Structure 1
Amino acid sequence: MQSQTTNLNLTSKNRLPNLKSRIWVPVLYTYDYFSKGKVSQIEFTFEICSEAPGYNNNWPSNITLEINHNPVVTFLTKGDYGGRKGSCNPDWWSDSNSQFGEFKRFTITDQGSFPDGEKVSEETIESPKMKEGYHFSFILKVDYAAG
């Protein structure tokens, strides 16, 4: 049976709330979707940056990605980027605000977790119980504890 890949794309076209608080991105999949065959991987792609007053290209933040409230990986964003116009920003978006972010690709498979193609965790598609129930949650949050 052929594996299926599901993509969730979050870009600056759909600006996310300030990362000083949790970001909840609900992703809903039905039993039917997973029961059609063995899902061996799910991939999320998004653009993300730190959050500083105005912008600050040197403002690192540790961001934790959780699935079903299960921390899967923590990664570093290096700054809250500005200084040039972002390609997806509307005309009304002020130049004094964040303009763009880092492109991230997160893949969770039956072999582990791979942010940007590098295996960093043994957490698999089975670990956070993504196939139990009729939905799962995808959460990005600032992880102050990660230092």
Structure 2
Amino acid sequence: MLILEVGRDHFRFLECLASETRIRILELLSENPMNIRDLALTLGVSSAITTKHVQKLEEAGIVKSESVPGKRGTQKVCSLALDQVLLQFRSSKKEPNVYFSSIPVGQYSSFEVKPTCGLASDSSVIGMIDDPRYFADPEHVKASIVWFGSGWVEYRIPNFLLAGQRLKALEISLEICSEAPGYNEQWPSDITFEINGARIGTWTCPGDFGAQRGAYTPSWWNLGTNYGLLKRLTVGDGGSHIDGTRLSSVTVGDLAIGYGKDISLRIRCDETSEHCGGVTLLGRSFGNYRQDIEVAMRYESARAD
């Protein structure tokens, strides 16, 4: 389920819900996919007006469309891209006993990658595609999309815990998918997560998604991947989970997080894995989610406040 904090960062999404016509389109698509002509007839408006409303819903990542053969050429068939959304009115960043940090996908601290690979900012490709040397280009910190066929990238998570504060849970949220040449939505990849050298677990991503443009993917981008899946990795006292599904028995106590020491997060895809389908990481200027790698460190105090 998509969780959206109500604010200016998600204005485009919220604006889509401020139209009776667009709400009616969502009602119709909740029953069955429909083409533009049938939507227009049901709504009692022109196909041109219907198309504009659908485009707004596509840009917000609420609706997706595909061209399929029709009686007279091709037709654009629309369907829902989301099943449900939770609107969060109270900012999660105001929660007590939690430290938040946001790490751009281009600000990795070390790497070892093999093609296909590359990086791009919100305005252009950085360096040359499929040349791992450019992962060391100082411009890599500006990247908002990072992709590689095998290998790993490692990030440093700041640790703001004070003496007397015990970490209860570490939560990491990121938009991620496989990496196929161009794109391939049926391209599984075994992606492994490690924190402070401890193997948290492996999640198999189903594919590399490019059939529809991501809600925030720049208009100039034409290199395949357009969006990923939003995944939430949690390590707590009861083990490690991804989106609530257990990954391993590794607990937060196993991470050896020391006072004043940064935390390492390594994301990798091994050549020896059953599904070596690569990794694509999408930041706030790409994909369907206006975010980078978001980290929450939830703690308790050993002393009374």
- Bin the TM-score by the shorter chain: 0.7 to 0.9
Unaligned runs of at least 5 residues, structure 2: 1-95, 106-120, 123-143, 275-305
| 1:65 aligned residue | 193
**Alpha-carbon separation, structure 2, partners of 1:17 and 1:55:** 12
- 1:64-107: CA deviations, max 9, x gaps? 0001122111000010111110112112211x410111111001
Q: Please name the residue that 1:137 is paired with.
A: 264
Q: Are the aligned partners of 2:239 and 2:250 in contact in 1 as well (CA < 8 Å)? A: yes
- Correspondence for 1:21 among 147, 151, 174: 151
The sequence identity of aligned pairs, in percent, is 29
Shift in alpha-carbon separation, 1:106–1:19, aligned structure 2, 3 A: farther
Aligned amino acid, residue 98 of structure 2: Q
Aligned equivalents of 1:5, 1:28: Cα separation in 2:
10
Counterpart code for 2:180: A
- Give runs of ≥4 in structure 1 deviating > 6 Å: 9-13
TM-score by length of 1: 0.83
Once the two structures are TM-superposed, the CA of residue 3 in structure 1 deviates from its matched residue by 4.8
**Structure 1: unaligned runs, 5 residues or longer:** none
Counterpart mapping for 1:1-147 below 5 A = 3-4=97-98, 6=100, 8=102, 14-30=144-160, 33-94=161-222, 96-131=223-258, 134-147=261-274
Q: Distance in 2 between matches of 1:16 and 1:92?
A: 16
Give the root-mean-square deviation of aligned CA atoms: 2.4
Letter paired with 2:148: N
In 1, Cα distance between the equivalents of 2:246 and 2:179?
27
User: Which protein is richer in helix relative to its size?
Assistant: 2
TM-score in terms of structure 2 length: 0.43
Contact 1:110 1:124 (8 Å CA) reproduced:
yes
Q: Cα distance 1:132–1:123, how it changes in 2: closer, same or farther (>3 A)?
A: farther
Give the CA deviation at 1:6. 4.3
CA distance in 2, matches of 1:121, 1:105: 14
Give the number of aligned pairs: 143
Q: 1:37: how far off?
A: 1.8
Map of 2:90 onto structure 1: none
Considering only CA atoms, is the larger Rg found in Structure 1 or Structure 2?
Answer: 2
